[in-house]
Structure 1
Amino acid sequence: MKKLAAVISTTLLVASASANAQFYLGAKAGVTWLDDFCTTGACDEDSWALGSFLGYEITDAVAIEAGLDALGETTGAGYKDAGMSAYTLAPRFSFALNEDLDLFAKIGGAHVKYGNDEDGALLGAIGLNYSIIPSIDIQAELQHFNGISIETTSFDANTFTLGFRSKFGGSSEPTPEPVEEVLVEETVVEEVVVVTPVVKTFETKVVDSGSFELNSSELKPASKQKLEELVVFMNEYPQANVEVVGYTDTSGAASYNQKLSEKRAQSVANALEAEGIDASRITVSGQGESNPIASNDTHEGRVQNRRVEITVPAFEYEEK
């Protein structure tokens, strides 16, 4: 009995270290066989096995388990068809193989009764445990009772059982891991105002032939007032440039018309410069008879074709 007392003392010492746990209850059934039991021919060392057990789960890996095992009825050691039973107590150690399957082992002690005799024995077990749902497991277990002494016979007992266990009394919520406080440095982001450029232009202005002296490139003084709106625009938007292009009809020689278109365009450019528009912002050209906007076969068409077009190309500026 001293070996059983030592095992029980060690088991209780392990149990006293528990802080948080849950209980489980289980049952099992299988077969029993004995080693070194039969010394004569009139002997039977194989039988059935039934068992129940109660456990106290300290952690996912360690539990304390007590059990009652019925090891069937055998013949030997002076008994015929005598029942054998064992009370067990042992720590149970589990090793996860995957999320649902565990390998477990037990090393503890047992108090074995056979007929009218009893003895203490060392207990060892190994098995597999599979979780069906969080609270229900099934298990297969191989159990060994070592060094049982009945009268003058010393033998070992073995069981192989299939069973289940049900957990209760514990919280299904996992123990929260300690949260390390992290100091977060606040970064102040300066807001950047994005200014979207605006596209600006000026409606093309046409200076017709009536704005010039007859057969001349000289711009009439009264006609210079037509440029006032453009001058105001050019002063308001210094990034704006202007293109001045002269045209004629097909009357007369083409070379004469080319020069006349250039001179009339330059006359308009001079008027803009006189109003303070820098010459670098003005592009001047003459197209002569090209690009008519009406028929040169009629008087009215020829009047329309004799013109100077003033165009401000589109430009971008930022609104303030």
Structure 2
Amino acid sequence: MNIKQISLNSTVASIISLSLLMSPQVNAAAENAGEFYLGAKTGWTDFTTQGDDDAWGGSVYGGYQFNSWLSFEAGYNYLGNDKGTIGADSLKSTLQNGEAGLKLDWNLGSAWNLFGKVGASYNDIEHKYADMKQGDNNWSLMLGAGLEYQISHNWRIRTEYQWFDDVGSSKYDPTFVQTDVNYLSLGLSYYFGSSDDGAAAAAAAAATAATAASLQEEPVQEAEPAPEPLPAATLSKGAFGHDSTELTTEAKSSLDPVVTYLEQRPEVNVDVIGYTDSTGAAAYNQKLSEKRAQKAADYLTGNGIDSSRITVEGKGEENPIADNSTAEGREQNRRIEVTYK
């Protein structure tokens, strides 16, 4: 292993260690769809010619990510010097190219993804042989693969391998000039988007769904007005003494929730309607139902409810809710109903 390879391995180890240290900052749902990006990388190049076939290279690149798995990427690569000999003279070939192609991502989790690249490069080679200088260029197939680590929504580290097929047009001896190029590099990419876009939108949607699920499991208890049953209250058994129009303590307790509700809902009014059973004269029962209804209304006004919100009516023997031929039925029919409106 030569010095260049040792240095490259040390750099890889350093970047991986840095990635692990920074992992708590990773956006767990990182997506960069619809964003442009720029990056730079450097690394080791290898040529399939005879002689000194190692060199350092450097690159700048940029692209556009269409969705979570497909990007278009283009860049410039300086691939270093390929050195060899022809007879007794040395040959130095300086390689650089421009490349363009498609990048395909395979997500491995919250922060890691594999990618593959396929495209073409236009190669420019300057040959120096003895006292001569000769330019050379051609098109090549480019294939690549790599691994990316997402530090945050905007930053990614990548390690990448690229292969360029038959760089050079063989104007000189093809044994020394035309070459495949292997390029192993480390790079850093910056995506021009905010964390409120793309990935963060997905994260926010996930958080909203989680919150909704949590609310379904544990409903938030909010202070609400008193319930609104219909009727609001029914005073029957134990509401009045025998042949009396005075409310009992039990009857007043039944009216207290009505007072509370009307205090909380000033737009709500009530009807207070009195009824009797069928025992006795109908005219007497009518008067008795009116008096008992008025007593219930007086209790409401006595507790702060404006009389304009209360309608009082007696209906005597009308609208029985039980059988008047039984004591139990007659007791149910002797009632006052309070309803909201």
Please, what TM-score do these two structures have when normalized by structure 1?
A: 0.49
If you compute each CA radius of gyration, which structure gives the higher value, 1 or 2? 1
Please, what TM-score do these two structures have when normalized by structure 2?
A: 0.47
Higher helix proportion: 2
Higher strand proportion: 1
